[in-house]
Amino acid sequence: MTRPRLASTVVLLRPDASGEFEILLTRRPRQMRFMGGFYVFPGGTVHDNDYSPRVLERCRGLSADQAQQILDNRHPPEVALGHWVAVVRELYEEVGILLCEAESGGPVDPRAEKTKARLELKRQAIVKEELGFEEFLESEELHCDLSRVVYFFHRVTPEFYPMRFDTRFYIATLPPDQVPLPRSEEVTESLWISPEEALARAYGDDFPILPPTTTVLAELAQLRTWKHLLSVYGLDMKADRQ
């Protein structure tokens, strides 16, 4: 039996003009070994560096003990907090969204062309493993804002699969003034879509989605409105940042 690897996945959300909400789905390149060609939420394996002392010093909004309690005390405190860090890192690697704040506590504003270009070069370097995530945070004087990342769902790949993951799902709202990359090294397409529409298109000829993605979509589809979503998952404190 293959031992599952620890992983984190994030459902990124934004309100729409009608008072409802959309989620971000990304399509993996067909040649990828795991879920190639399928639409998924951004995410990936929790790395050892995600809970290194240097990275954890660059985290705000959640303590290691709090993270351990939220994950039912199944991991040491630092490893538990690393699940949240993995969300921040993977979201940045795959679609260029930074769930971070500046040294001062203010929001990240990547709109300036020079800033955008510099951050994109560093994102590419992280993906190529030429730059560590901890080095990136230090060089940009950024802190992971873990208060934006809310635990949502847990799923372990069944034993009969050759590649298995022990995955924690999270939800987060899109930070202001940030736009996901339309494609990247691990994404052939990214799109905003309502959970209802995604479920309606699931299993179509060119919209392949599998559980647990469909399970998460079905859960979110029941909420309907942005206001209801924020209330149910305690995202009210982050909503005023939209």
Give residue-wise pLDDT tens across range 157-194: 888 878 889 999 999 999 999 999 999 999 999 999 99
Instruction: Give the pair of three-digit tokens for residue 50.
Output: 């995600």
Q: Is 168 or 206 the better-scoring residue by pLDDT? A: 168
What does the chain come to in residues? 242
Span 135-162, mean pLDDT? 94
In this prediction the pTM is 0.94
Q: Give how far Cα 107 sits from Cα of 4, 133, 145, 186, Å.
A: 36, 19, 10, 26
Residue 44 dihedral angles phi and psi, to the nearest 5°: 175, -170
Mean of all residue pLDDT scores within the chain: 92
